């Protein structure tokens, strides 16, 4: 679940629970599969440790965990700060960008992951919005139109929540150049990087050597542990002191049992674990989209992530219509206007349920012509 949507989420869950029929939950974005076995074992091993292992980890994360992360991304370990999930990693990047770069504006794509613009408001900055392309990607010319010397950061998310769009090499290269031109920090949230269904499509922003790039990530989705809160940022050298200080003054340190379990899981989990879950999501999306075709829906097949956005003729994605879909089709989605005005006519469906195909059939039967 996207926690920031919790009031809406709770409302919809309650509504679905009280409905006179069986309802498939496609609202929450929580992984529904098993975490790595080594994660469970790691937590148990940790639980038997000596008292000193229960005390503060280093503020920027367990040394071995930072080393594993640095090695996997081929970056200097000094750039790696372990955070309380990708959420904190993004917060640190955005707050520090506003101080280190000139400007009080933060650019982001619409439809927008609500945390990005709400966090911008909290930081007393102004969000500027770039409309995504119909396939969920970003046109760099459109980005150029909204940035200026007042822009302190450009926050992107690829694979994207909610669109499923994936930004390719060219887009990333352009975005890095734009960040450099307007003296801003490109904050590239890559938390869904293990869920790309078109290998050609994805490019990490770390591939570009730039003092204007920060990459954020977490183990929340890849290891199906959104509740552990282990994420990280890979920040440019000139920001790491300020990032570490802010992290320390806000959180002191992250939670050590979670970090230790993730470390064990990172070392011992075979690639096949990630590949199996990626395939599972890919198959669900395939089935879901086939049914959307039969339902006559408009949608862009996601090239990454957990979500499918769809629009049905004459049935825009309002809260009322979300409730009607629960009552009449037995499928609970998220109204599109939770992600800003641009996609107010759409619904977001999370495919992190074993009943995704069943839900799709229901939609096809309900809307099918």
Residues forming the site for its own copies (CB under 8 A): 1, 3-4, 6, 30-35, 40-41, 43-44, 46-48, 51-59, 84-85, 87-88, 91, 115, 118-119, 122, 224-230, 245-246, 248-258, 261
Contact 149, 113 (CB under 8 A): no
Q: What is the largest CA-CA distance in the chain?
A: 65
**In Å, how far are 3, 9, 94, 127 from 118, measured between CA atoms?**
12, 17, 12, 9
Locate 299 and state its tokens: 């949608």
Please identify, using beta-carbon distances, which residue of 171 and 220 lies nearer to its own copies: 220
Q: How far is the CB of 248 from its own copies (least distance, A)?
A: 6
**Least distance to its own copies, CB of residue 154, Å:** 19
Closest distance to its own copies from the beta carbon of 220 (Å)? 9
Nearer to its own copies, 9 or 349 (CB): 9
- As a whole number of angstroms, the distance between CA 197 and CA 309 comes to 16
Q: Which is nearer to its own copies, 48 or 209 (CB)?
A: 48
Give 56 or 314: the residue with its C-beta nearer to its own copies.
56
* Distance from C-alpha of 310 to C-alpha of 247, rounded to nearest angstrom: 38
CB of 144 to its own copies, least distance (A): 28
User: Residue 199: CB partners within 8 Å, gap ≥ 6?
Assistant: none
Cα–Cα distance for residue pair 19/355, rounded to 1 Å: 18
Matching residue, tokens 């280093």? 58
91/235 with CB nearer its own copies: 91
* Shortest reach from residue 8's CB to its own copies, in Å: 14
Closest CB to its own copies among residues 33, 279:
33
CB of 245 to its own copies, least distance (A): 7
- Find the helix or strand (DSSP H, E) in which 67 lies: helix 63-73
CB of 113 vs its own copies, minimal distance in Å: 12
- Closer of 1 and 287 to its own copies (Cβ): 1
Residue (140 or 220) nearer to its own copies, CB: 220
What angle, 0 to 180 degrees and rounded to 10, lies between the N-to-C axes of helices 63-73 and 256-268? 40
32 token code pair? 């529904």
Least spacing, CB of residue 83 vs its own copies, in Å: 9
Place of tokens 């003296």: 183
Q: Work out how close the CB of 31 gets to its own copies at its nearest, in angstroms, rounded to a whole number.
A: 7
Nearest alpha carbon to residue 60 among 87, 88, 38, 101:
88
Nearer to its own copies, 268 or 328 (CB): 268
| DSSP per-residue codes, 269-298 | --HHHHHHHHHHHHHHHHHHHHHHHHTT-E
- For residues 116 and 28, give the distance between their C-alpha atoms in angstroms, rounded to a whole number: 18
The closest of 196, 253, 243, 195 to 215, measured between CA atoms, is 243
Name the percent of the chain in helix, strand, coil, to the closest 5: 45, 15, 35
Cβ proximity to its own copies: between 206 and 230 the closer is 230
As a whole number of angstroms, the distance between CA 38 and CA 263 comes to 9
Query: CB 34 → its own copies: shortest distance, Å?
Result: 6
Q: How far apart are CA 316 and CA 155, in angstroms?
A: 28
């Amino acid at each position: 679940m996207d926690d920031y949507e919790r009031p809406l989420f709770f409302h919809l869950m309650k509504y679905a629970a009280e409905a006179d029929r069986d309802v498939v939950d496609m609202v929450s974005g929580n992984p529904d599969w098993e975490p790595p076995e080594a994660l469970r074992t790691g937590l148990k091993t940790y639980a038997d440790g000596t008292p000193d292992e229960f005390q503060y980890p280093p503020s920027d994360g367990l040394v071995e965990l930072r080393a594993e992360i640095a090695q996997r991304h081929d970056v200097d370990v000094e750039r790696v700060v372990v955070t309380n999930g990708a959420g904190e990693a993004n917060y640190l990047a955005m707050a520090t960008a506003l101080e280190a770069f000139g400007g009080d504006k933060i650019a982001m794509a619409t439809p927008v992951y609500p945390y990005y613009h709400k966090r911008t408001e909290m930081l007393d900055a102004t969000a500027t919005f770039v409309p995504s392309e119909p396939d969920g990607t970003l046109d760099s010319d459109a980005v150029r139109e909204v940035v200026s010397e007042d822009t302190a950061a450009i926050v992107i998310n690829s694979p994207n929540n909610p669109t499923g769009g994936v930004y390719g090499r060219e887009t990333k290269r352009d975005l890095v150049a734009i960040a450099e031109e307007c003296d801003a920090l490109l904050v590239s949230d890559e938390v869904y990087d293990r869920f790309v269904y078109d290998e050609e499509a994805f490019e990490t922003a770390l591939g570009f050597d730039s003092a204007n790039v920060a990459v954020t990530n977490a183990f929340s989705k890849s290891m199906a542990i959104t509740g552990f809160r282990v994420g990280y940022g890979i920040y440019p050298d000139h920001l790491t002191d300020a990032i570490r200080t802010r992290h320390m003054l806000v959180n002191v340190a992250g939670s050590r049992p979670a970090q230790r379990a993730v470390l064990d899981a990172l070392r011992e989990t075979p690639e096949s674990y990630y590949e199996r879950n990626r395939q599972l999501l890919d198959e669900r999306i395939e089935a879901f989209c086939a049914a959307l075709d039969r339902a006559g829906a408009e949608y862009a097949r996601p090239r990454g992530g957990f979500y499918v956005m769809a629009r049905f003729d004459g049935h825009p994605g309002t809260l009322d219509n979300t409730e009607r879909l629960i009552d009449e089709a037995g499928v609970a989605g998220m109204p599109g206007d939770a992600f800003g005005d641009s996609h107010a006519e759409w619904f977001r469906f999370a495919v992190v349920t074993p009943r995704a195909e069943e839900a799709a059939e229901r939609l096809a039967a309900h809307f099918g012509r």
